């Protein structure tokens, strides 16, 4: 149980394009979803917290106009990297949580490469 | 505020040897603690969790961790390492504001030598 699916797993695109990443909880309803960015050999950096039906809460230093988050249902959240540039290249990981102090369950990540 | 420190960014053991990955936390409230494993180019997989029940927590893949309040520690162990255990391991604690945000340690890379 507690499976989170993240799609796509790998994206390569040209500078200036927008990229959408989907995160789905397959067998549970997620009150909250989280989006992380991970640089090589580093820990996860929280970008934003997303609750179904409300605006995402972004961490300090994360541009909300650059990283658009939509959490339209209890099983789906999307992250759109708008007008992506090479410095946005990274590994993006989502997680989903039922609520309270329950564990976060993670997707397999998306490797984003901007040329 | 909660924080997590993983001692040793890199641990190397021989196959069949004991695995010990160290994690110390600071928390002003009873903590919820987790160990996650990350294989290359993948997300994080939950190994085990401590939620104020038994202090010795058993997880998947033969791992276990012991919560020691007096030492503010939550070290991860496995009696006998397998080659497939080679990965990155993260200790994490929930923040005190109950927002569900995880505070991660820096991670420990486990290398298993044949």
CB B92 within 8 A of CB B103: yes
Statement: residue B2 has pLDDT above 90: no
Statement: residue B23 has pLDDT above 80: yes
* Residue in A32, A91, A93 closest to B100 by CB: A32
Of A86, A52, A89, which is closest to residue A72 (Cα–Cα)?
A52
Q: Is the dihedral of CA B54, A100, B99, A34 positive or negative?
A: positive
Q: Which of A4-13, B45-54, B83-92 has the lowest mean pLDDT?
A: B45-54
Statement: residue B47 has pLDDT above 90: yes
Statement: residue B53 has pLDDT above 80: no
Mutate to test the interface with A, among B38, B87, B100 (most CBs of A within 10 A): B100
Residue B84 makes CB contacts below 8 A (sequence gap 6+) with none
Q: Which residue has the tokens 């890199």?
A: B10
pLDDT at B98: 61
Q: Where are the alpha helices (DSSP H) in A51-102?
A: none
Question: What backbone torsions phi and psi does residue B66 show, to the nearest 5 degrees?
Answer: -115, 125
* Phi-psi group of B3: left, alpha or beta (phi > 0 → left; psi -120 to 50 → alpha; rest → beta): beta
Tens digits of residue pLDDT in A56-112:
999 999 999 999 999 889 999 999 999 999 999 999 999 999 887 788 999 999 999
Nearest-neighbour CA in chain A from B70: distance (Å): 23
**Cβ separation B44–A44 shorter than 8 A:** yes
pLDDT at B94: 85
Tens digits of residue pLDDT in B54-111:
889 999 999 999 999 999 999 999 999 999 999 999 999 987 666 678 999 999 999 9
Distance CA A95, CA A77 (A): 10
Of A76, A49, A75, which is closest to residue A62 (Cα–Cα)?
A49
pLDDT at B10: 97
- CA angle in degrees (0–180, nearest 5) for B62-A5-A64: 115
Statement: residue A55 has pLDDT above 90: no
- Give me the total of CB pairs closer than 8 Å, taking one residue from chain A and one from chain B: 53
Nearest-neighbour CA in chain A from B99: distance (Å): 8
Contacts of B102 in chain A (CB under 8 A): 34, 46, 104
Across the strands, what pairs with A105?
A: A96
CB B45 within 8 A of CB B112: no
Strands A110-114 and A10-13: parallel
Mutate to test the interface with B, among A106, A110, A111, A112 (most CBs of B within 10 A): A106
Tens digits of residue pLDDT in B27-43:
877 788 999 999 998 99
Determine the residue of chain B that is closest to A47 in CA distance: B101
CB-based contact, B107 to chain A, within 8 Å: yes
**Cβ separation A104–B100 shorter than 8 A:** yes
- Arithmetic mean of pLDDT over chain A: 93
Nearest-neighbour CA in chain A from B114: distance (Å): 23
CB B100 within 8 A of CB B84: no
CB A95 within 8 A of CB A77: no
């Amino acid at each position: 149980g507690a499976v989170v699916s993240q799609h796509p797993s790998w994206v390569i695109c040209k500078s200036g394009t927008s990229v959408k990443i989907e995160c789905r909880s397959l067998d549970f309803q997620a009150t909250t979803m989280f989006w992380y960015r991970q640089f090589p050999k580093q820990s996860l950096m929280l970008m934003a917290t997303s609750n179904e039906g409300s605006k995402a809460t972004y961490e300090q230093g994360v541009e909300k106009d650059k990283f658009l988050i939509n959490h339209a249902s209890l099983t789906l959240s999307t992250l759109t990297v708008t007008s992506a540039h090479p410095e946005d290249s990274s590994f993006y990981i989502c997680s989903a949580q039922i609520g309270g102090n329950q564990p976060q369950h993670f997707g397999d990540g998306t490797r984003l490469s901007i040329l | 505020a909660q924080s997590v420190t993983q001692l040793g960014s890199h641990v190397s053991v021989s196959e069949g040897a004991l695995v010990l990955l160290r994690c110390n936390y600071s928390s002003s409230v009873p903590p919820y603690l987790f160990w996650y494993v990350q294989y290359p180019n993948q997300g994080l997989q939950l190994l085990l969790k401590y939620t104020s029940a038994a202090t010795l927590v058993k997880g998947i893949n033969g791992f276990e961790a012991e919560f020691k309040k007096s030492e503010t520690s939550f070290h991860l162990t496995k009696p006998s390492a397998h080659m497939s255990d080679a990965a990155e391991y993260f200790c994490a604690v929930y923040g005190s504001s109950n927002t569900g945000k995880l505070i991660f340690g820096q991670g420990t890379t486990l290398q298993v030598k044949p």
